[in-house]
Amino acid sequence: MKKILILIFMCFLSQNIFANENLDKKAREINKKIRCVVCQSQSIDDSDSVLARDLRALIKEKLKEGKNEKEITNYLVERYGEFILLKPKFNSKTYFLWLTPIMIIIFGVFFIKGIFKKN
Amino acid sequence: MKYISLIIITAFIFICLFFGLNKKDQNLKSPLLNKPIPEINLNSLKNDKLNKNNFKNEIILVNFFASWCVPCIVEHNFLFELKKQKPIKIYGINYKDDVKNLEIWLKKLGNPYSKIGIDKTGITGINWGVNGIPESFLIDQNGIIIHKVNGIIDKKQIKILLSKIELLEK
């Protein structure tokens, strides 16, 4: 009987450990996508600023509450704007940012092609 | 002709980068502007509550500050100056601070606040989209955020705030 109880307890413990590990993993995945707004070129996963620490704790808390990634990022965007996302969404405000590299590549290809043709 | 177009495009990219990278954070508009105030439920310094019920039918300035924040000392005198010019309610949100230090700080510098909410964990700061203190929000009679000041309220900001308050009072 004692052995069975120990076994049940161990199963329960390991389940909790795995659940926590999964939660930490998911939290870190989100942290990597969130900009540290006081450091600017770092994610909150990389930053040790007070705000980054608070945001990391908040994200973990929200995951514990059962919120998903989209709900958490929406919550942060509603408060800090899209600036808080390291990878901004593609919309009317950001299309120039997303399309410029493609435009430069296309222009470059045509330009180089033109030079070769001339030669 | 091809080289001219290349120069024009390169110059355009450089101009975009120059202005884009020089843009200060202060120019970033808060997404909370023109929206109702976010969640707030804090214990106040005088052992009562600071919550949404305190934001009804009057113009209020919410100021996030702390005793450890050096720019807040500079801002403190300007808050008195603002109150002198326009006696509006200022609610202070004491951000991640030690209450004992806060009390000493207020004794030393004076207290321009009608109420002080204690945000020990910083969660209210995050709810209000605070990047770094001091930061202030001007709230209208309906509890809508009208203006946000990132950084110190100085003479220039007082002027802006006074003009906004004047508009709200009309």
Question: Which of A19-28, A70-79, B55-64, B155-164 has the least mean pLDDT?
Answer: A19-28
Shared domain for A27 and A82, answered yes or no, is yes
Percent with pLDDT over 70 in chain B: 95
What pLDDT, on a 0 to 100 scale, did the predictor assign at position B123? 94
Contact status of A39 with chain B (Cβ, < 8 Å): no
Q: Which residues pair with B49 in a beta bridge?
A: B43
Q: Give the Cα separation of A34 and A44 in Å (integer).
A: 6
Q: Which domain holds residue B39?
A: 2-169
Number of domains in chain A: 2
In chain B, the residue whose alpha carbon lies closest to the alpha carbon of A53 is B122
Whether residues B123 and A107 touch (CB distance < 8 A) is answered with no
What pLDDT, on a 0 to 100 scale, did the predictor assign at position A114? 84
Shared domain for A26 and A66, answered yes or no, is yes
Shared domain for A71 and A117, answered yes or no, is no
Q: Give the Cα separation of B97 and B3 in Å (integer).
A: 60
Whether residues A79 and B126 touch (CB distance < 8 A) is answered with yes
Shared domain for A46 and A15, answered yes or no, is yes
pLDDT at B27 over 60: no
Pick the closest to residue B136 from B123, B160, B124, B153 (CA basis): B153
- Give the pLDDT mean for A43-68: 94
Model ipTM value: 0.80
Shared domain for A24 and A49, answered yes or no, is yes
Consecutive H or E run containing A96: helix A95-118
- Give the pLDDT mean for A36-61: 92
CATH of the domain at B54: 3.40.30.10
Shared domain for A80 and A114, answered yes or no, is no
Q: For residue A83, which residues of chain B lie inside 8 Å, CB to CB? A: 28
Shared domain for A112 and A54, answered yes or no, is no
Shared domain for A79 and A96, answered yes or no, is no
Shared domain for A112 and A72, answered yes or no, is no
pLDDT at B99 over 70: yes
Q: Which domain holds residue A16?
A: 2-88
Q: Give the Cα separation of B10 and B12 in Å (integer).
A: 5
pLDDT at A78 over 80: yes
Whether residues B122 and A38 touch (CB distance < 8 A) is answered with no
Shared domain for A64 and A112, answered yes or no, is no
Q: For residue B68, which residues of chain A lie inside 8 Å, CB to CB? A: none
Number of domains in chain B: 1
CATH of the domain at A80: 1.10.8.640
Shared domain for A82 and A37, answered yes or no, is yes
H helices present in A1-119, as ranges: 2-31, 50-64, 69-80, 95-118
Q: Compute how many other C-beta atoms are within 10 angstroms of the C-beta atom of residue B61.
A: 25
- Give the pLDDT mean for B133-146: 96
What pLDDT, on a 0 to 100 scale, did the predictor assign at position B163? 96
Contact status of A108 with chain B (Cβ, < 8 Å): no
What pLDDT, on a 0 to 100 scale, did the predictor assign at position B84? 95
